[in-house]
Chain A
Amino acid sequence: MDFKDSPAQAEFRHKVRQWLQANAPADNTLSRGGMESDEAMREGREWQARIYDAGWACLTWPKEYGGQGLTAIEQVIWSQEVAKFSTRDGFFAIGIGNCGPAIMLYGSDQQKQSLLPRMARADDIWCQLFSEPGAGSDVAGLKTRADKDGDSWKINGQKIWTSQAQYADYGVILTRTDPTLPKHKGLTMFFVDMKQPGVEVRPIKQADGGQAFNEVFFNDAVVPDVQRLGELNGGWGVALAVLMNERLAIGSVAPNGWPEYWDMIRKLELDGKPALEDSEVRRRTADWYVKNAGLKNAQARMLSAVANGGVPGAEASLGKLVGASMCQDISAYALDLFAEMGVCADEQMALMQAQFQKAYLYAPGLRVAGGTDEVMRNIIAEQVLGLPADVRVDKGVPFNEIKAGNIRQ
């Protein structure tokens, strides 16, 4: 075991740092959770193209597909270093982190060559079309149909909460191809052209006022069979592989509020004295320091397991589970420290306050996106600890006989 860099890793870190110092803005004022605006999207695309052109994008992907053929360790080193700068790194976590592996694992060679480098440079934006109004935690309960039509499929139905769909060129979509089979058995995965006539995207305004996710309606949208990912009715297996990558991808960029808090708390004064001289503040801060260290170190362990040839296991869930609530609590605490000024949301007047308010308002989204806290705990309990599964009332029942979604009495 070695938590310190090997000479080769240290050399890599040094190069990353040098490049970042020359190319990335240093202030820590960018709110990392904010993904709402066209402006953020433009910055995200710009940054992604820049790191791609300089050879820092998608480090673990093979060179022929736009990556660098490096290991997860280098990816972590990159993430650790870039986190010290104010960039939009990780802005395409869902496209690159989830859709990327889906194409990598199940796409044809020709698809990989034509699609992946453009994805890695954010020349094309990708979205993940899994959740539906009646199927989120229970995503296998989805209803969007794909019906065979010659060499193609016709897609009909509605997806929801689709991040970045309003910008997307492509989407990876999970559909129902046989509603008479039990729910996990009749699903098939495709990737779909989002710019075609049968696809309509309507933005949804979020609780924090931003607009990063959408409803997507499919009306006879066409997908050629060559864009099927995996076997017919084998979509659940593909989804699991993708979701596992999502947990890892989100875990590595999920804001937990710590860098912003640590920055702030060392500058804050309370009653004319440095806040860290207050013993309560000092100890609460230490608690979060410990939690953040645990997250960092757990992630390093997880990734070194992956680098040594393992696959990301269910334990990858813990990063997001811990980080999301931590972000919520840390921002609530920061706002409390600002006393009455904690309510003030004007950036000119109270930049620090406004920053933690943003975090307070996006944290609830983190606790739901990519699997809710409760679902994460179920995964840890059942898949990591091997505890007996919940009683499943829908097991083996044909899909079209299961109750789902909102049913008003």
Chain B
Amino acid sequence: MAKAKGAIVVDTVRCKGCGVCTTVCPTKVIELAAEVNGKGYHYAYMANPDACIGCSNCGIICPDTCITVYRAKAGATA
């Protein structure tokens, strides 16, 4: 299995479930949860965490700025 190079943390309370982040992820990491948050939105989560490359695309596009992005330093064992 591929080793993840990146990871995201979604503020699931703030997320409005718009799904825009899912369209910009080059490795199809993100999906909308079957469950809803307190506002009734299907929040985003890492459905495929091993595929994250830490590109930040999801973070920069999120209109509600609910995604924090981490990327392992090159050479570090993830």
Q: Please say whether chains A and B are actual partners in one complex.
A: no
Residues of B within 8 A of A (CB): none
